[in-house]
Structure 1
Amino acid sequence: MENLNNKKLMKAKLKVEELKEFYKHIVTYVLVNLFLTFIWKFSFKLFGNFIISNQFDNGNFTHIPIWLIWGVFLMLHAFKTFDFLNLFGRDWEERKIDKFMKE
């Protein structure tokens, strides 16, 4: 029984650490993108005519905003943190072992 409680405590601590990292990621995302949008004007070529930038190009779709690219990674981080896509999550091995043990 004590072993089960220790295991639950460790999982809870790990989940809290994941949440803290995700919240830090959100704050960093907002602050850096605000800085890039209002202070620092930059751009660099990605490939071909596509340019990563914090500036808009009047609808020509040659500038890819950095907040969009980073936002995709932030969304994936959210999926992982909040178990939206729990295909091979931490408990996957345990669930599979339990399933095979019952068979």
Structure 2
Amino acid sequence: MPIFLVIYDESHPSQSKLYYSLGCFMDYYTTKRLVQDHFIVVLAPKSDKDAASLVPSDDPLENCLWVVLDLDGKIIRREGVYANADEGLKRVRSVVASISEA
């Protein structure tokens, strides 16, 4: 199973808008089921050196970062968590479809 990783800056006053952005992204039940059925979910602070290595050097983590990794650690998708339920569902469906085709 691929890894659904969300990285946030625990020293940021809003913790990279973790609760707001991820809450909106994962709002729909269908999104939650797709994530549960197709991914291993990991929530990691930027202080974790493995997680930090996945954060682009120009990303200050004002917003939390979503990274999907295959089992070999290759990045399938990496982008800021979009605080929108429709976009969350669309993006998760897109990744699930690409994984299913592989």
Q: Kindly indicate which of the two structures has a greater share of residues assigned to strand.
A: 2
Tell me whether the two structures share a fold, i.e. TM-score over 0.5.
Answer: no
Shorter-chain TM-score bucket reads under 0.3
Greater relative contact order (Cα < 8 A, sep 6+):
2
Q: TM-score, normalised by structure 2?
A: 0.25
